[in-house]
Amino acid sequence: MTDKTNIAIVPATRQRQITAANTGKPPVPWPQKHQPLCWSLRLWSVRHSRGLERLYRVFAKVFLTLHPLWGRIGYSRAERPIGFIEKRVKGVLFDCRMCGQCILSSTGMSCPMNCPKQLRNGPCGGVRAGGHCEVRPDMPCVWVKAWEGSRNMTHGDLILRVQKPVDQSLFETSSWLRTTAKAAAEQDRSRMGDTA
């Protein structure tokens, strides 16, 4: 007599959610299996990094101008709708993982969270010939593309800055709002310094 056991196959994404629920930590935004269309859009963003950099600077100024509105509404209340929009827009253009600490303007519009190793300060030692990923040979290395994109940008040397490790507690939060709040606080401090 054979013993038949029912084995439930749980997708990897769900396994991470279950693991996160058991540990009380947010799920890790590991890159999911990419489709060539995502790669095409990511590569388009890298090729057009200078234009996207200009667009981002205008967008950041508009968001900063709206700081009083965000303050009245409350940044925490604005988080959900703005995060929803941010996830969709950046997801299409950059295959964004919503780490909450966006550094696209420093990495040639190539999201380092798409790296299978999630490296935030340059490529690993295993970049293959032709600039492909060591872990996923069919995928262009995120950091090779980041370097190419940064060379097109006005402030391309920002890629040389050392980035802090990812704070997992900010996963799935809006970096747009966080950046705006930080810029508004700096603006307020500079105004206070001017009046003193």
Q: How many CB atoms lie within 10 A of CB 147?
A: 19
Distance CA 182, CA 160 (A): 22
Q: How far apart are CA 152 and CA 18, in angstroms?
A: 42
Tell whether 19 is covered by a domain: no
State the total domains in the chain.
1
Q: What stretches in the chain show pLDDT beneath 70?
A: 1-36, 194-196
Residue 26 domain flag? no
Q: How do residues 15-63 score in pLDDT, each as one tens digit?
A: 444 444 445 554 444 445 555 677 788 889 999 999 999 999 999 999 9
pLDDT for the residue 126: 85
Model pLDDT, residue 195: 63
Q: Is 24 a member of any domain?
A: no
Residue 123 within any structural domain of the chain: yes
pLDDT of residue 38: 73
In a domain, 22, yes or no: no
Q: Using CB atoms within 10 A of its CB, is residue 86 exposed (0-12), middle (13-18) or buried (19+)?
A: buried
Q: Give residue 129's domain range.
A: 33-195
On whether residue 183 sits in a domain, the answer given is: yes
Q: How much is the pLDDT for 78?
A: 94
Task: Find how far residue 96's CA is from the centre of its chain.
Answer: 5
In a domain, 8, yes or no: no
How confident is the model at residue 34, as a pLDDT?
A: 53
pTM for this prediction: 0.75
| Residue at 172 is within a domain | yes
